[in-house]
Protein backbone atom coordinates (compact mmCIF):
# COMPACT_ATOMS: atom_id res chain seq x y z
CA UNK A 1 0.00 0.00 0.00
CA UNK A 2 2.86 2.38 0.80
CA UNK A 3 4.25 1.92 -2.71
CA UNK A 4 0.83 2.81 -4.17
CA UNK A 5 0.69 6.00 -2.11
CA UNK A 6 4.18 6.99 -3.25
CA UNK A 7 3.34 6.32 -6.91
CA UNK A 8 0.09 8.28 -6.55
CA UNK A 9 1.87 11.29 -5.05
CA UNK A 10 4.63 11.23 -7.65
CA UNK A 11 2.10 11.19 -10.49
CA UNK A 12 -0.04 13.86 -8.84
CA UNK A 13 2.94 16.16 -8.33
CA UNK A 14 4.07 15.49 -11.90
CA UNK A 15 0.57 16.28 -13.15
CA UNK A 16 0.48 19.63 -11.34
CA UNK A 17 4.04 20.52 -12.41
CA UNK A 18 3.20 19.66 -16.01
CA UNK A 19 0.23 22.01 -15.77
CA UNK A 20 2.46 24.77 -14.42
CA UNK A 21 5.13 24.29 -17.10
CA UNK A 22 2.46 24.15 -19.78
CA UNK A 23 0.96 27.40 -18.53
CA UNK A 24 4.34 29.13 -18.58
CA UNK A 25 5.11 27.69 -21.99
CA UNK A 26 1.88 28.83 -23.64
CA UNK A 27 1.79 32.28 -22.04
CA UNK A 28 5.48 33.18 -22.10
CA UNK A 29 7.64 30.84 -24.16
CA UNK A 30 5.59 30.39 -27.33
CA UNK A 31 4.92 34.14 -27.82
CA UNK A 32 8.71 34.59 -27.55
CA UNK A 33 9.79 31.39 -29.26
CA UNK A 34 12.84 33.04 -30.80
CA UNK A 35 14.54 33.02 -27.38
CA UNK A 36 14.30 29.22 -27.17
CA UNK A 37 15.12 28.66 -30.83
CA UNK A 38 18.26 30.78 -30.50
CA UNK A 39 19.61 28.26 -28.02
CA UNK A 40 20.35 25.91 -30.91
CA UNK A 41 19.44 22.28 -31.38
CA UNK A 42 18.77 21.63 -27.70
CA UNK A 43 16.29 24.51 -27.51
CA UNK A 44 14.50 23.41 -30.67
CA UNK A 45 14.29 19.80 -29.47
CA UNK A 46 12.93 20.86 -26.06
CA UNK A 47 10.31 23.07 -27.65
CA UNK A 48 9.20 20.39 -30.12
CA UNK A 49 8.91 17.78 -27.34
CA UNK A 50 6.96 20.20 -25.17
CA UNK A 51 4.51 21.07 -27.93
CA UNK A 52 4.12 17.48 -29.13
CA UNK A 53 4.03 15.57 -25.85
CA UNK A 54 3.47 18.05 -23.01
CA UNK A 55 -0.31 17.83 -22.98
CA UNK A 56 -0.28 14.05 -23.37
CA UNK A 57 2.10 13.50 -20.42
CA UNK A 58 0.10 15.90 -18.28
CA UNK A 59 -3.20 14.06 -18.85
CA UNK A 60 -1.68 10.58 -18.50
CA UNK A 61 -0.12 11.51 -15.15
CA UNK A 62 -3.46 12.86 -13.94
CA UNK A 63 -5.21 9.68 -15.05
CA UNK A 64 -2.70 7.45 -13.26
CA UNK A 65 -2.79 9.52 -10.06
CA UNK A 66 -6.60 9.50 -9.81
CA UNK A 67 -6.79 5.82 -10.79
CA UNK A 68 -4.39 4.82 -8.01
CA UNK A 69 -6.30 7.02 -5.58
CA UNK A 70 -9.61 5.43 -6.57
CA UNK A 71 -8.17 1.91 -6.41
CA UNK A 72 -6.72 2.59 -2.96
CA UNK A 73 -9.62 4.51 -1.38
CA UNK A 74 -12.70 3.22 -3.22
CA UNK A 75 -11.64 -0.25 -4.35
CA UNK A 76 -10.95 -1.49 -7.88
CA UNK A 77 -14.57 -2.40 -8.66
CA UNK A 78 -15.84 1.04 -7.64
CA UNK A 79 -13.05 2.72 -9.60
CA UNK A 80 -13.84 0.78 -12.78
CA UNK A 81 -17.58 1.32 -12.28
CA UNK A 82 -16.90 5.02 -12.77
CA UNK A 83 -14.00 4.98 -15.19
CA UNK A 84 -15.49 2.69 -17.82
CA UNK A 85 -18.79 4.63 -18.22
CA UNK A 86 -16.96 7.96 -18.07
CA UNK A 87 -14.47 7.05 -20.80
CA UNK A 88 -16.92 5.22 -23.08
CA UNK A 89 -19.73 7.79 -22.83
CA UNK A 90 -17.41 10.78 -23.21
CA UNK A 91 -15.56 9.34 -26.21
CA UNK A 92 -18.89 8.50 -27.82
CA UNK A 93 -20.14 12.02 -27.16
CA UNK A 94 -16.92 13.54 -28.54
CA UNK A 95 -16.99 11.39 -31.66
CA UNK A 96 -20.61 12.35 -32.21
CA UNK A 97 -19.78 16.00 -31.63
CA UNK A 98 -16.83 16.15 -34.01
CA UNK A 99 -18.84 14.27 -36.67
CA UNK A 100 -22.26 15.92 -36.44
CA UNK A 101 -21.95 18.99 -34.22
CA UNK A 102 -24.18 17.46 -31.51
CA UNK A 103 -24.09 17.92 -28.53
CA UNK A 104 -21.31 20.51 -28.34
CA UNK A 105 -21.41 22.36 -31.66
CA UNK A 106 -19.27 22.27 -34.80
CA UNK A 107 -15.63 21.90 -33.73
CA UNK A 108 -12.47 20.02 -34.62
CA UNK A 109 -9.39 19.03 -32.65
CA UNK A 110 -5.96 20.22 -33.70
CA UNK A 111 -2.66 18.52 -32.86
CA UNK A 112 -1.04 18.52 -29.45
CA UNK A 113 -3.16 16.09 -27.44
CA UNK A 114 -1.97 12.79 -28.87
CA UNK A 115 -3.28 10.09 -31.19
CA UNK A 116 -6.81 10.74 -32.47
CA UNK A 117 -9.46 8.04 -32.18
CA UNK A 118 -11.00 7.56 -35.65
CA UNK A 119 -8.91 10.56 -36.69
CA UNK A 120 -11.24 12.86 -34.75
CA UNK A 121 -10.80 12.79 -30.96
CA UNK A 122 -7.44 12.65 -29.10
CA UNK A 123 -7.31 9.61 -26.82
CA UNK A 124 -6.41 11.89 -23.92
CA UNK A 125 -9.74 13.75 -24.00
CA UNK A 126 -11.91 10.95 -22.51
CA UNK A 127 -9.17 10.38 -19.91
CA UNK A 128 -9.49 13.99 -18.76
CA UNK A 129 -13.28 13.58 -18.61
CA UNK A 130 -12.67 10.62 -16.28
CA UNK A 131 -10.27 12.07 -13.75
CA UNK A 132 -11.78 15.56 -13.47
CA UNK A 133 -15.27 14.02 -13.60
CA UNK A 134 -14.54 11.59 -10.75
CA UNK A 135 -13.01 14.39 -8.69
CA UNK A 136 -16.06 16.60 -9.23
CA UNK A 137 -18.54 13.84 -8.43
CA UNK A 138 -16.77 12.70 -5.26
CA UNK A 139 -16.63 16.27 -3.96
CA UNK A 140 -20.36 16.74 -4.62
CA UNK A 141 -21.38 13.32 -3.33
CA UNK A 142 -19.39 13.56 -0.11
CA UNK A 143 -20.33 17.17 0.58
CA UNK A 144 -24.03 16.36 0.24
CA UNK A 145 -23.70 13.41 2.61
CA UNK A 146 -25.01 10.78 0.20
CA UNK A 147 -23.30 7.98 2.11
CA UNK A 148 -25.04 8.93 5.35
CA UNK A 149 -28.49 9.40 3.77
CA UNK A 150 -28.59 7.82 0.28
CA UNK A 151 -32.00 9.24 -0.63
CA UNK A 152 -33.06 9.69 -4.24
CA UNK A 153 -33.01 13.46 -3.84
CA UNK A 154 -29.43 13.47 -2.59
CA UNK A 155 -28.36 11.08 -5.33
CA UNK A 156 -29.83 13.34 -8.01
CA UNK A 157 -28.39 16.40 -6.29
CA UNK A 158 -24.89 14.87 -6.25
CA UNK A 159 -25.07 14.09 -9.97
CA UNK A 160 -26.39 17.57 -10.84
CA UNK A 161 -23.85 19.33 -8.63
CA UNK A 162 -20.99 17.14 -9.81
CA UNK A 163 -21.89 17.89 -13.44
CA UNK A 164 -22.07 21.61 -12.60
CA UNK A 165 -18.59 21.56 -11.03
CA UNK A 166 -17.28 19.73 -14.07
CA UNK A 167 -18.91 22.19 -16.50
CA UNK A 168 -17.54 25.17 -14.55
CA UNK A 169 -14.05 23.87 -15.30
CA UNK A 170 -14.93 24.29 -18.97
CA UNK A 171 -16.02 27.90 -18.41
CA UNK A 172 -12.37 28.73 -17.78
CA UNK A 173 -10.94 26.13 -20.16
CA UNK A 174 -12.93 26.69 -23.34
CA UNK A 175 -12.03 30.24 -24.47
CA UNK A 176 -8.33 29.74 -23.82
CA UNK A 177 -7.90 26.31 -25.39
CA UNK A 178 -9.49 27.45 -28.65
CA UNK A 179 -8.10 30.98 -28.93
CA UNK A 180 -4.61 31.14 -27.37
CA UNK A 181 -1.33 31.27 -29.28
CA UNK A 182 -1.35 27.44 -29.23
CA UNK A 183 -4.99 26.34 -29.66
CA UNK A 184 -5.96 22.69 -29.20
CA UNK A 185 -9.32 22.86 -31.00
CA UNK A 186 -11.27 25.36 -33.03
CA UNK A 187 -14.92 26.18 -33.71
CA UNK A 188 -16.27 26.10 -37.22
CA UNK A 189 -18.79 28.75 -36.16
CA UNK A 190 -17.59 30.63 -33.05
CA UNK A 191 -20.35 31.15 -30.51
CA UNK A 192 -21.67 34.15 -28.65
CA UNK A 193 -20.05 33.34 -25.30
CA UNK A 194 -16.50 34.57 -25.86
CA UNK A 195 -16.20 32.51 -29.02
CA UNK A 196 -17.90 29.42 -27.59
CA UNK A 197 -21.47 28.31 -28.43
CA UNK A 198 -23.82 28.09 -25.45
CA UNK A 199 -24.69 24.63 -26.74
CA UNK A 200 -21.22 23.47 -25.75
CA UNK A 201 -21.88 23.94 -22.05
CA UNK A 202 -25.19 22.11 -22.27
CA UNK A 203 -23.29 19.25 -23.93
CA UNK A 204 -20.69 19.21 -21.18
CA UNK A 205 -23.33 19.20 -18.45
CA UNK A 206 -25.44 16.53 -20.15
CA UNK A 207 -22.54 14.20 -20.95
CA UNK A 208 -21.00 14.41 -17.48
CA UNK A 209 -24.41 14.03 -15.79
CA UNK A 210 -25.04 10.92 -17.90
CA UNK A 211 -21.89 9.03 -16.92
CA UNK A 212 -22.19 10.19 -13.29
CA UNK A 213 -25.74 8.82 -13.24
CA UNK A 214 -24.54 5.48 -14.60
CA UNK A 215 -21.84 5.39 -11.93
CA UNK A 216 -24.39 6.25 -9.24
CA UNK A 217 -26.52 3.29 -10.35
CA UNK A 218 -23.53 0.97 -10.33
CA UNK A 219 -22.52 2.27 -6.88
CA UNK A 220 -25.99 1.91 -5.36
CA UNK A 221 -25.05 -1.14 -3.28
CA UNK A 222 -21.59 0.18 -2.37
CA UNK A 223 -20.92 2.09 0.83
CA UNK A 224 -18.63 5.00 -0.02
CA UNK A 225 -17.92 7.01 3.13
CA UNK A 226 -15.11 9.50 2.66
CA UNK A 227 -13.69 11.91 5.19
CA UNK A 228 -12.50 15.40 4.38
CA UNK A 229 -8.87 14.30 4.32
CA UNK A 230 -9.75 11.64 1.75
CA UNK A 231 -11.06 14.36 -0.56
CA UNK A 232 -7.70 16.11 -0.75
CA UNK A 233 -6.64 14.37 -3.96
CA UNK A 234 -9.93 15.17 -5.79
CA UNK A 235 -9.70 18.78 -4.57
CA UNK A 236 -6.09 19.16 -5.72
CA UNK A 237 -6.96 17.68 -9.12
CA UNK A 238 -10.02 19.89 -9.57
CA UNK A 239 -8.31 23.09 -8.42
CA UNK A 240 -5.11 22.34 -10.34
CA UNK A 241 -6.96 21.82 -13.61
CA UNK A 242 -9.13 24.87 -13.02
CA UNK A 243 -6.07 27.00 -12.20
CA UNK A 244 -4.40 25.95 -15.45
CA UNK A 245 -7.50 26.84 -17.47
CA UNK A 246 -8.00 30.08 -15.57
CA UNK A 247 -4.39 31.09 -16.11
CA UNK A 248 -4.69 30.59 -19.85
CA UNK A 249 -7.99 32.48 -20.06
CA UNK A 250 -6.85 35.37 -17.87
CA UNK A 251 -3.67 35.62 -19.93
CA UNK A 252 -5.88 36.11 -22.98
CA UNK A 253 -8.18 38.57 -21.24
CA UNK A 254 -11.17 36.27 -20.64
CA UNK A 255 -12.15 37.49 -17.18
CA UNK A 256 -15.90 36.80 -17.18
CA UNK A 257 -15.69 33.04 -17.98
CA UNK A 258 -13.10 32.57 -15.22
CA UNK A 259 -15.26 34.54 -12.77
CA UNK A 260 -18.27 32.35 -13.54
CA UNK A 261 -16.15 29.25 -12.99
CA UNK A 262 -14.96 30.59 -9.64
CA UNK A 263 -18.43 31.50 -8.40
CA UNK A 264 -20.27 28.39 -9.54
CA UNK A 265 -17.43 25.87 -9.44
CA UNK A 266 -14.48 26.60 -7.17
CA UNK A 267 -16.37 28.22 -4.28
CA UNK A 268 -19.04 25.48 -4.12
CA UNK A 269 -16.26 22.86 -4.26
CA UNK A 270 -14.60 24.45 -1.20
CA UNK A 271 -17.93 24.57 0.63
CA UNK A 272 -18.66 20.91 -0.15
CA UNK A 273 -15.17 19.89 0.90
CA UNK A 274 -15.58 21.78 4.19
CA UNK A 275 -19.00 20.19 4.83
CA UNK A 276 -17.58 16.69 4.55
CA UNK A 277 -16.98 14.73 7.73
CA UNK A 278 -13.61 15.11 9.41
CA UNK A 279 -12.31 12.65 11.95
CA UNK A 280 -11.59 14.47 15.22
CA UNK A 281 -7.91 14.84 15.97
CA UNK A 282 -8.40 14.56 19.71
CA UNK A 283 -9.60 11.29 21.18
CA UNK A 284 -11.37 11.31 24.50
CA UNK A 285 -10.46 8.42 26.73
CA UNK A 286 -12.88 7.29 29.39
CA UNK A 287 -11.32 6.76 32.79
CA UNK A 288 -10.49 3.15 33.28
CA UNK A 289 -11.49 1.31 36.37
CA UNK A 290 -9.20 -1.38 37.55
CA UNK A 291 -10.59 -4.16 39.62
CA UNK A 292 -8.22 -6.31 41.61
CA UNK A 293 -9.54 -9.54 42.95
CA UNK A 294 -7.72 -10.89 45.94
CA UNK A 295 -7.90 -14.57 46.47
CA UNK A 296 -8.49 -15.73 49.99
CA UNK A 297 -5.62 -17.75 51.41
CA UNK A 298 -6.07 -20.28 54.14
CA UNK A 299 -3.02 -21.22 56.10
CA UNK A 300 -3.12 -24.50 57.95
CA UNK A 301 -0.97 -24.70 61.03
CA UNK A 302 0.21 -28.04 62.18
Instruction: Report yes or no: 160 and 213 within 8 Å, Cβ to Cβ.
Output: no
The C-alpha atoms of residue 115 and residue 43 are separated, in whole angstroms, by 25
Instruction: Report yes or no: 113 and 122 within 8 Å, Cβ to Cβ.
Output: yes
User: pTM score, two decimals?
Assistant: 0.87
Residue 69 inside a domain? The answer is no
Domain that holds residue 232: 75-275
Going by C-alpha positions, the residue among 86, 275, 97 that lies closest to residue 200 is 97
Q: Which residues have CB under 8 Å from 164's CB, separation 6+?
A: 205, 264, 265, 268
Residue 237 inside a domain? The answer is yes
Residue 36 inside a domain? The answer is no
Residue 180 inside a domain? The answer is yes
Residue 30 inside a domain? The answer is no
* Residue 77, pLDDT above cutoff 80: yes
The C-alpha atoms of residue 204 and residue 93 are separated, in whole angstroms, by 9
Going by C-alpha positions, the residue among 107, 233, 80 that lies closest to residue 177 is 107
Q: Band the pLDDT of 172: cuts 50, 70, 90.
A: very high
Tens digits of residue pLDDT in 109-162: 988 788 999 999 999 999 999 999 999 999 999 999 999 999 999 999 999 999
Task: Quote the mean pLDDT of the chain.
Answer: 87
Residue 32 inside a domain? The answer is no
Residue 181 inside a domain? The answer is yes
Task: Give the pLDDT score at 194.
Answer: 93
* Residue 221, pLDDT above cutoff 60: yes
Residue 37 inside a domain? The answer is no
Instruction: Report yes or no: 130 and 81 within 8 Å, Cβ to Cβ.
Output: no
Question: How many domains does the structure of the chain reveal?
Answer: 1
Amino acid sequence: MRQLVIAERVCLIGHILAKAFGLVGILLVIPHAEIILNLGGAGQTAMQMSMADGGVVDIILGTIAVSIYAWRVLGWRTWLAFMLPAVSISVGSELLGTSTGFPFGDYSYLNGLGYKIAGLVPFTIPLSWFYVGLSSYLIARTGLGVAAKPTLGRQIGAVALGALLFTCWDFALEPAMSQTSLPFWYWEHPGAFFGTPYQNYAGWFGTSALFMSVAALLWRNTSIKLERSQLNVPMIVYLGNFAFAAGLSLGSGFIIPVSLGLVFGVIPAFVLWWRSIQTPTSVSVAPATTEVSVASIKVAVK
